[in-house]
Structure 1
Amino acid sequence: MSAPQRTRPVHTLTVTRTEWITPHMVRVWAGGPGLAAVPDNGFTDNYVKLLFFPEGRPEGVDVAELRAQGKVVTRTYTIRRREPSELAIDFVYHGDVGLAGPWAASVQPGTEFSFQGPGGAYSPAADADWHLFVGDASAFPAIGAALESLPATAVAIAVLEVQDPADEQKFLTDARLDLRWVPAGTLVSAVEELELPAGSGHAFVHGETYVIRDLRKVLAGVDRLSISGYWRRGMAEPEFQAAKRTDPV
């Protein structure tokens, strides 16, 4: 008999404020009594599953039961930053398209929301000679968290794709950072043109599935590589998560 699937606990926080990082990225800060129960797993890509209840959330009903009934919609997001009394989650915003982006753009302080997690698997290796970060806007929160965790002795290269120059961000890092913003559609070619440093590297590469598939080939020689698709063009998250199980990248 297989072991029962472990269900991550549900945490509930209260929105304290929001801020626009760029025209297409909004940061939601949240805190409250529930923050102390949210573990810090030590990963810079630590993510949570936000829970949305299209029919409303009934009192006293377990989230796992609601999910089994198809009454919960989840969306996966990275914890961008954590402070003693707040944590921040960044959302890509494309107008009224999607579920989480419009919610983040309009949510008001005092609003409660729930999530499961966090999960995570990556943090920059302390013994790496250099670090490489590659991704589109979906990966900026995890890349930003990683960059800001690096010490002043670290060497980092970041190749980041934006739809518009207005979407370029500032990262508060002590590392010796070579930051390259590239236009949409040029991420693979920009990485192909890199001259990577000598020594042992550690790369974090995430974004659109088929772009990532090409980047996996380009970066096959990197010693340590965290690489996967965060989304797939033309698919909402439920379809994407199902596709990952049969066609992982």
Structure 2
Amino acid sequence: MPPTRIQVRRTERITPHMVRVTFDGDNLAVDNGFTDRYVKLMFPIDGGFPPDLDTLPRDQMPPRRTYTIRAATADEVTIDFVHHGDSGLAGPWAANAKPGDELYFVGPGGGYTPDPTADWHLLIGDEAALPAIGAALEQLPADATVRAMVGSAEPQDLPHDVTWVDPADLVDTVKQLDWPAGRVHAFVHGEAGLVKQLRDHLAGDRGLSREQLSISGYWRRGLHEDAFQAEKRTTAAAAR
């Protein structure tokens, strides 16, 4: 599938370190039924994109970063970007984006949507997972039993009650959770080291099965995305 061109329609700084960018474009077919649907955003090189983007070999493609779609309509896609200063690629781009600026994306992918047959729902993550958590909370009915915990010092207005904690305290907060009765369906994503600790607790101490857990690292501290994705491919190949 060729990359899809999108243009910035508007931007909004929704917290001190989160920039919401709404794009428009043609043929925005991103509704795949998942609340964690994501795309691979392509960022410009020297202010632009090569004219033969559709046919470039993979190793010559513009730099790409994976982002969750926060919301979408037939003609708009909204993506939230974490912005912590001038380092990195996507955050600084979003902080300086203006209407008309272009990106391309490929996708979407995804794999999680809240199980309507579950007795209750557990959603855990850091700021990188917050767009997917927000989308899931908006899909859940108002009377659903939900435990949502986010490692961020910058709360957002979301449906259902969310526990906002310092990222360093997230694992301990989860371990102290008052566990509701019944079968849980869990979404747990964020920094890879954090996710490993949560996997050990939820699968080991709590006994959750693979079917009950959507869990993976979105990023690893100290690695840019290309290096992190290469690490994940190496780990997956070694496990085969």
Q: What amino acid sits opposite 1:155 in the alignment?
A: T
1:18 and 2:11 correspond: yes
Equivalences, count: 231
Q: Distance in 2 between the 1:46 and 1:125 partners?
A: 16
TM-score, L = length of structure 1: 0.88
Q: What residue ranges of structure 1 are gaps of 5+ in the alignment?
A: 1-7
Q: What amino acid sits opposite 2:234 in the alignment?
A: T
1:29 and 2:16 correspond: no
The equivalent of 2:223 in structure 1 is: 235
The equivalent of 1:159 in structure 2 is: 149
1:127 and 2:117 correspond: yes
Q: CA 1:64–1:23 in structure 2 vs 1: closer, same or farther (change >3 Å)?
A: farther
Deviation at 1:66, TM superposition (A): 4.4
Q: Distance in 2 between the 1:104 and 1:137 partners?
A: 16
Contact 1:42-1:123 at 8 Å conserved across structures: yes
Deviation at 1:19, TM superposition (A): 0.6
TM-score, L = length of structure 2: 0.91
Q: Distance in 1 between the 2:30 and 2:124 partners?
A: 27
Q: Distance in 2 between the 1:89 and 1:120 partners?
A: 15
Q: What amino acid sits opposite 1:141 in the alignment?
A: P
The equivalent of 1:106 in structure 2 is: 96
Q: Distance in 2 between the 1:37 and 1:203 partners?
A: 29
Q: What amino acid sits opposite 1:222 in the alignment?
A: L
The equivalent of 2:185 in structure 1 is: 202
| RMSD of aligned residue pairs (Cα, Å) | 1.7
Q: Distance in 2 between the 1:81 and 1:206 partners?
A: 18
Tell me which of 174, 179, 197 is aligned to 1:214: 197
Q: CA 1:83–1:243 in structure 2 vs 1: closer, same or farther (change >3 Å)?
A: same
- Tell me the percent identity: 53
The equivalent of 1:50 in structure 2 is: 41
Q: What amino acid sits opposite 2:184 in the alignment?
A: G
Tell me which of 118, 126, 141 is aligned to 2:131: 141
Contact 1:11-1:38 at 8 Å conserved across structures: no
Deviation at 1:17, TM superposition (A): 0.2
The equivalent of 1:72 in structure 2 is: 62
Q: Distance in 2 between the 1:49 and 1:149 partners?
A: 23
Q: What residue ranges of structure 2 are gaps of 5+ in the alignment?
A: none
Deviation at 1:178, TM superposition (A): 3.6
